[in-house]
Structure 1
Amino acid sequence: MAKNQDQIKESVNTQQRYGVFLDAWKRKEGYKGSMSFGKKANIEYLLRDYYDNGVRKQKVLGQRSPETEKVLADYLAGREDAEQRLKAAQANVARQAGINRALGLGRVPAIGAKIIRAVDKAGLLGKGVKVIGTNAMFAYEAITEVYFPQSVTSTEDIDMMFDARAKIRFASADETTAPTIIGLLQQVDRSFIRAPNRFSANNNDGYIVDLVRPQINPPWKDLPSSISNNSDDLEAIQIGGLSWHENAPSFEAVAIDTRGEPVRIVAPDPRAFAVHKHWLSKQPDRRPDKRARDRCQAALVAAMVAQHMPHLPFDPDQMKSFPRKVVEDAAHLFAASADPADQFSF
């Protein structure tokens, strides 16, 4: 389905306003904690208090002087300005969400979008964690003039790929406790619990979050399975073929959820998505219904790349993270002339 001109215009406006919001939010985060003068051994010092992974820390910035008084004044003024700019940006995003709802721009399931935003605010999105699977398709369509058929994007789960090689700095809304993925999910919905398999979490509505990672090679290589290293947290399950995604370029876009609110998604390059899905569709140990969906999604994403993403030409030399035969087997998908908005009907 093609977007109309109003939808295209407001999609661009959403991306711009959300970009301003994210910049304002990051600036405000820089003022977390506090700054004040305090006495140590009867001498006044400028102190900066903050939390690091749930541990309260304090940094001494110098004895009281005209210079440190200016540092404090600048800090307080900057924090006030950051708060006001964030409030203005939030108001703009809220107004934009109303416009988006009226135009029917919402695509990403609300619960999935909330989870992705929480991961983003924790400093993990694109820095050790990517959105893979069906939810990645919302990022691809966000920058084009067409939508994928809803029948191939409907989903009741979300897959998060953990890159254990990344140096992760995990932030939390609650500065006083060490953050965990399950704690992050429970901030979104209190009913989330870890499943017995340890790599999944589900809520009362049956929405599932899976934490996955590539198979370790060699198998004895020591890499963490948990983002937080907390024994009660989710532990990523190893999945074959994901190392190709891990080493492929990332793709970032701002999509819109069903409430009209923007969400930044960091996913694998759409060319890598299509190649990987095509490979999955040929795996004999995969369920037939999943293979059929994989095959359809691969064809649709490849057609979208060919027709609507001229800046991403399909070049096997740019897909070096995949085995060459896997890339060659999928090459015909990118030569398709049909538009992804019309290629399939269900």
Structure 2
Amino acid sequence: MLQASQQGERSEGLSVDMDDFVELNPDQRREKVNSDQRYQALLNARGALAGYRGSLVWHGPDGSQRLMRSYYDRSGARRQKTLGSRSPQTEALKAEWDQRRAQAVQVFAERRETMERQAAINRALRLGRVPLIAAKIIRALDEAGLLGAGIRVAGTNAVYAYEAAAGVFVDAGVTATQDIDLLMDARRTLRILSSEDVPEGALLNLLRQVDRSFERTRETFRAINRDGYLIDLIKPDPRPPWKMERDRIGSGEDDLVAASMEGLAWLENARPFEAIAIDEKGWPVRMVCPDPRVFAAHKLWLSGRVDRDPPKRRRDEAQAAVVGRLTAAYLTHLPYEGDDLRVLPKSVRQSAEPLFRHSQSTFP
């Protein structure tokens, strides 16, 4: 690994041309705002509808019917709750529940239709950036209650969140990838908001809802589909090294087992960064990633590791430079200073500082 002073000197010479950023034009900016607002309204409607999962039905002979609520809990177990014998009060309760559920279904359908029209506009304006397979995976994690609650999008795909928040497009050479890294917080107990479609709450089964061809490889932290798209489940090295930590989400023997990697604790401990990006079909996708300042510093550190493949090191260096410049130029509410950066070792933090200082001196 490069010493901090060597890495700092090298980062002073990093430069990213303005051509690496293409700002959204006025039409794109307007529709990006509209898209974000309409997607948030759709998410709100989905959340409201989720409150009416399961069923509320009468059970038992006509003379002794009881109102029963059936649903799946967070562990995926089917639960039933008795709300009382049939009476004017329970009949009114069921009627109100049915009415509100019907309203929630209608609102969700209307907002989804609105979002379908918005997606067509987004496609026409070429706002779509996130690869479709990556977007589907991230949405599945979000709907399962994992995104931002123990799972973050790390690696190259995080750049889509940073550019979306900045209102720019980054050079495609920086973002092109055929995999996605899912950073797991091993300190938390993670559970999929299960249904009968996700047995044992397994992550691999959740991924198969996106693409049935996903299979775990011999590297047990990785899944691959028929097209060669890779999903890596990763987590920080335990501290201390002998500490036993959770390394999987599901309980199945064939589920993904997170690989421990040095340096990921910085991303795990960084403040979350949330943005709404747009996929290749024009549909928004909510993304939760590490703080871009910590991301850039981590990428620069990776680029200095002598045990990393040279092509990956050069790509890491380019991504560090781009994200550092983007953050300083457009995400000005995130200066490269303050308590948020204490998750980084001092040497790593100091080595990455020129990325942001150089950016700030370049842009007005």
TM bucket, shorter chain: over 0.9
Confirm whether residue 169 of structure 1 aligns to residue 200 of structure 2.
no
Consecutive unaligned residues of structure 2, counting only runs of 5 or more, are: 1-21
Deviates more, 1:169-178 or 1:266-275: 169-178
Distance 1:78 1:175 in 2: 25
Show the counterpart of 1:15. 36
The one-letter code of the counterpart of 1:186 is R
Alpha-carbon distance in 2 for matches of 1:24, 1:339 = 44
Q: Among 332, 340, 346, which residue is 1:310 paired with? A: 332
1:232 and 2:254 are equivalent in the alignment: yes
SS in 2 for 1:263: strand
Displacement after TM superposition at 1:151 (Å):
0.4
Between 41-50 and 93-102, report the one with greater CA deviation: 41-50
* Structure 1 residue corresponding to 2:57, chosen from 12, 30, 36: 36
Is 2:198–2:205's contact at 8 Å kept on the other side of the alignment?
no
Corresponding position: 1:155 with 2:177: yes
Q: Aligned to 1:216, what secondary structure does the other structure show? A: coil
- Name the residue aligned to 1:3: 24
- CA deviation vs aligned residue, 1:294-335 (integer Å, no higher than 9, x gap): 111111111111110111111153211111111011111111
- Counterpart-to-counterpart distance in 2, 1:41 and 1:86: 35
Trace 1:33-112 onto structure 2 (pairs within 5 A): 33-39=54-60, 43-52=64-73, 53-112=75-134
1:64 is displaced (CA, Å) by 2.7
Identical amino acids, percent of aligned pairs: 47
The CA deviation string for residues 127-152 of structure 1, in whole angstroms up to 9 with x for no partner, is 01000000001001112232111000
Amino acid in structure 1 at the alignment position of 2:283: E
Contact 1:51 1:176 in 2 (8 A): no
Q: Within 5 A, what are the aligned runs for 1:115-264?
A: 115-172=137-194, 174=196, 177-264=199-286
As a proportion of its length, which structure holds more helix?
A: 2
Aligned partner of 1:35: which letter? L
Classify 1:123/1:95 alpha carbon distance in 2 versus 1 (closer, same or farther; 3 Å): same
Structure 2: which amino acid aligns with 1:34? S
Question: Which residue is 1:296 aligned to?
Answer: 318
Q: Take 2:178 and 2:54, find their aligned partners in 1: how far apart are those partners?
A: 37
Q: Is the 8 A contact 1:244 1:322 kept in 2?
A: yes
Which range moves more in the overlay, 53-62 or 14-23? 53-62
* Whole-angstrom distance in 2 between the partners of 1:63 and 1:173: 28
Task: Report the Cα offset of residue 89 of structure 1.
Answer: 1.1
Q: CA deviation at 1:41?
A: 12
Query: CA-to-partner distance for each residue in 1:258-312, whole Å, 9 max, x for gaps?
Result: 1111111100011111111111111111111111111111111111111101111
Is the contact made by 2:119 and 2:281 (CA closer than 8 Å) also made in structure 1? yes
In the alignment, the residues of structure 2 paired with residue 146 and residue 94 of structure 1 have an alpha-carbon distance, to the nearest angstrom, of 23
* 2:359 aligned counterpart, secondary structure: coil
Preserved CA contact (<8 Å) 2:201 2:249: no
1:27 to 32, 48, 57: 48
Cα contact 2:184–2:258 (8 A) shared by 1: yes
TM-score (norm 2): 0.90
Q: Which moved more, 1:41-50 or 1:232-241?
A: 41-50
TM-score, normalising length: structure 1:
0.94
CA distance in 2, matches of 1:194, 1:182: 8
Which residue matches 2:11?
A: none
1:267 aligns with 2:289: yes
Give unmatched runs, 5+ long, in structure 1: none
More RCO (CA 8 Å, sep 6+): 2
In structure 2, the residue corresponding to 1:77 is in which secondary structure?
Answer: helix
- Which residue in 2 is equivalent to 1:329? 351
Q: Tell me, what secondary structure is at the counterpart of 2:83?
A: strand
User: 2: CA distance between counterparts of 1:187 and 1:132?
Assistant: 21
Q: How far 1:51 moved relative to its partner?
A: 2.0
Matched pairs, number: 341
Distance in 2 between residues matched to 1:175 and 1:188, nearest whole Å: 12
Residues 135 and 285 in structure 2, CA contact (< 8 A), matched pair in contact too:
yes
Moved >4 Å (runs of 4+): none
Amino acid at match of 1:7: Q
* One-letter amino acid of the structure 1 residue matched with residue 38 of structure 2: R
Classify 1:125/1:40 alpha carbon distance in 2 versus 1 (closer, same or farther; 3 Å). Answer: farther
Checking the alignment, whether the CA contact within 8 Å between 1:116 and 1:265 is kept in structure 2 is yes
- Aligned alpha-carbon RMSD (Å): 1.9
Q: Structure 1 residues 173, 258: CA separation in 2 closer, same or farther (over 3 Å shift)?
A: farther
Give the residue type in structure 2 aligned to 1:211: L
Contact residue 226 and residue 233 of structure 1 kept, 8 A: yes
